């Protein structure tokens, strides 16, 4: 008997799950509520290709091998040596070329292991002193988007710190054209494999028959599966996309060790995402507990003024946003990724996304969990219906704009 696997959600997780299922020969239908695919990976159209946030992959994990084997991350952009030389660290209000020496010493300790049960600030302060512990936590806000990264599990933060700033060659990768290019390739690959993609199609109730992979954002998944654990701790930050007419004094990449901000040029590795002669940047500033968005945006503006001198007269594009609980799971002391909501919900229902029980950081968790969900869904014996789920509730799927597009595990 042929069963159809239903994938709910057409972001990074949903597309990964759909491809992985279809590659085994399964019949797959994907429902995406929005009129376009991509979820939080979407970017604005040319000439200014600005992301909702996500724009890089790290190449040091199974998620990347999975993408690379399918040619989904080909065409990488690299910063020129001149651009790379404009890297910096904000310390005590000034931008310097190198991190403070004590932080540099910590960066080299790649073999050190940190405890799961202790908070990062307490653990790192004991080794390198309070100031360095604060600098390290603020440096790693680049991937936590959290104003108090020091309160998270020491093991969780230390692993991120080593991945981002450790002594190994940097694993960060930029695909030319940005994440939208990767997502477009994924959609094309899914269609090529016969996945039926229904956009403008919100699913409010799980279908009654066949395996289902819920690959929505955490809030939707939590509603669909009635599971509050999917609302795991995540980041909260102010974002600023800004394009300016290029100036040699502009900084290309700055870690803010004072306040946890981050500044990065998108165009230093990919000139195609802004008009000629212009540079496009994204800056982020984590929002503190009890701080207003406007206050965080004011701090972000001050940070931008420091890095792009005289930017007001040169600005050609500007966009601000706030991202709350949208940047992937953060583990508190005593927690690891294994403590998050399980992928296998029983009864042929699986969940994929960036707050579930899978390794990695941010979108990697989505990819890794989707590969596992697909593996489990396709390993299921074909059944017409699940006894404890109601009979098919296809009527619960609201069709909007209609269709406009047509086994492996963490080891890749
Ligand atoms: C500021 C910021 C920067 C980031 N930077 C990076 C980065 O550089 N690298 C990285 O790896 N990650 C990064 N991330 C994280 C990354 O964006 C996410 O982890 C990833 O996009 C999540 O993909 P997803 O498919 O799990 O969820 P989503 O992208 O949220 O996709 C879920 C999809 O499901 C759809 N949906 C929801 N409910 C329903 C429903 N009921 N029926 C049908 N469809 C539904 C939604 O419309 C959406 O398209 C960043 C995040 C932020 C906020």
Q: Which domains does the chain have, with CATH numbers?
A: 4-43+178-231+333-411 (3.40.50.720), 45-175+236-324 (3.90.660.50)
User: Closest Cα to atom 2, ligand 1: which residue?
Assistant: 53
pTM score, whole prediction:
0.93
Helix 120-128 and helix 154-165, axial crossing angle in degrees, nearest 10: 60
Confidence (pLDDT) at 381: 65
How many angstroms does the Cα of residue 178 sit away from the middle of ligand 1?
Answer: 15
Q: Taking a C-beta distance cutoff of 8 angstroms, is the pair 3, 211 a contact? A: yes
Please give the C-alpha separations between residue 264 and each of 50, 140, 241, 297, 303, in angstroms, as whole numbers: 12, 14, 10, 17, 12
Confidence (pLDDT) at 170: 87
Closest atom, ligand 1, to C-alpha of 366: 26
How many angstroms does the Cα of residue 95 sit away from the middle of ligand 1?
Answer: 32
Q: Taking a C-beta distance cutoff of 8 angstroms, is the pair 343, 358 a contact? A: yes
Closest atom, ligand 1, to C-alpha of 14: 25
- Three-state secondary structure along 183-230? HHHHHHHHHHCCCEEEEEEEECCCCCCCCEEECCCHHHHHHHHCCHHH
Tell which one of 15, 33, 40 to mutate to probe ligand 1, the residue whose CB is within 8 A of the most ligand atoms: 40
Confidence (pLDDT) at 279: 96
Tokens 């030319």 belong to which residue? Answer: 176
Q: Taking a C-beta distance cutoff of 8 angstroms, is the pair 152, 144 a contact? A: yes
Confidence (pLDDT) at 346: 94
User: Closest Cα to atom 53, ligand 1: which residue?
Assistant: 327
- In the predicted model, residues of the chain with pLDDT beneath 70 are 1-2, 381-412
Cα 363 to chain centroid, rounded: 3
How many angstroms does the Cα of residue 216 sit away from the middle of ligand 1?
Answer: 8
Tell which one of 160, 269, 319, 354 to mutate to probe ligand 1, the residue whose CB is within 8 A of the most ligand atoms: 354
Tell which one of 6, 9, 263 to mutate to probe ligand 1, the residue whose CB is within 8 A of the most ligand atoms: 9
Tell which one of 37, 38, 53 to mutate to probe ligand 1, the residue whose CB is within 8 A of the most ligand atoms: 53
Confidence (pLDDT) at 406: 26
Q: Taking a C-beta distance cutoff of 8 angstroms, is the pair 31, 204 a contact? A: no
How many angstroms does the Cα of residue 354 sit away from the middle of ligand 1?
Answer: 8
Q: What pLDDT digit, counting tens, does each position of 212-266 carry?
A: 999 999 999 999 999 999 999 999 999 999 999 999 999 999 999 999 999 999 9
Confidence (pLDDT) at 82: 84
Residues within 6 Å of ligand 1 by CB: 8-14, 31-34, 39-41, 53-56, 145, 202-203, 215-217, 220, 239, 323, 326-328, 353-354, 362-364, 366
Confidence (pLDDT) at 181: 95
């Amino acid at each position: 008997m042929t069963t159809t696997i239903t994938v709910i959600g057409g972001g990074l997780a949903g597309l990964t799950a759909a491809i992985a299922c279809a590659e085994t020969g399964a019949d797959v239908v994907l429902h995406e509520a929005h009129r376009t695919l991509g979820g939080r990976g979407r970017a604005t159209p040319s000439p200014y290709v600005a992301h909702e946030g996500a724009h890089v992959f790290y190449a040091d994990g199974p998620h990347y091998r999975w993408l690379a084997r399918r040619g989904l991350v080909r065409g990488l952009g690299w910063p020129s040596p001149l651009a790379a030389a404009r890297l910096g660290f904000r310390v005590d209000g000034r931008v310097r070329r190198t991190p403070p020496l004590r932080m540099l010493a910590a960066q080299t300790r790649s073999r050190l292991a940190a405890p799961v049960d202790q908070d990062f600030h307490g653990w790192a302060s004991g080794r390198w002193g309070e100031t360095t512990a604060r600098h390290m936590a603020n440096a790693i806000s680049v991937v936590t988007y959290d104003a108090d990264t020091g309160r998270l599990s020491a093991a969780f933060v230390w692993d991120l710190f080593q991945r981002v700033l450790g002594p190994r060659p940097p694993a960060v990768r930029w695909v030319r054209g940005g994440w939208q290019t990767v997502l477009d390739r994924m959609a094309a690959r899914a269609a090529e494999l016969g996945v039926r993609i229904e956009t403008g199609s919100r699913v409010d109730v799980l279908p009654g028959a066949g395996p289902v992979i819920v690959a929505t954002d955490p809030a939707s998944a939590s509603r669909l599966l009635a599971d509050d654990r999917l609302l795991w701790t995540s980041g909260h930050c102010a974002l600023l996309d800004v394009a300016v007419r290029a100036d040699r004094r502009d900084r290309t990449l700055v870690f803010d060790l004072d306040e946890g901000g981050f500044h990065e040029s998108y165009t230093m590795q990919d000139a195609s995402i802004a008009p000629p002669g212009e540079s496009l940047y994204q800056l982020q500033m984590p929002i503190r507990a009890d701080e207003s968005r406007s206050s965080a945006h004011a701090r972000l503006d001050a940070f931008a003024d420091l890095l792009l001198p005289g930017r007001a007269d040169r600005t050609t594009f500007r966009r601000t946003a706030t991202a709350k609980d949208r940047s992937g799971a953060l583990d508190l002391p005593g927690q690891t990724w294994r403590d998050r909501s399980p992928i296998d919900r029983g009864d042929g229902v699986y969940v994929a996304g960036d707050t579930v029980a899978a390794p990695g950081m941010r979108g990697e968790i989505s990819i890794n969990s989707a590969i596992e969900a697909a593996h489990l869904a396709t390993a299921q014996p074909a059944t017409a219906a699940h006894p404890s789920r109601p009979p098919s509730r296809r009527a619960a799927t609201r069709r909007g704009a209609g269709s406009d597009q047509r086994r492996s595990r963490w080891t890749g």
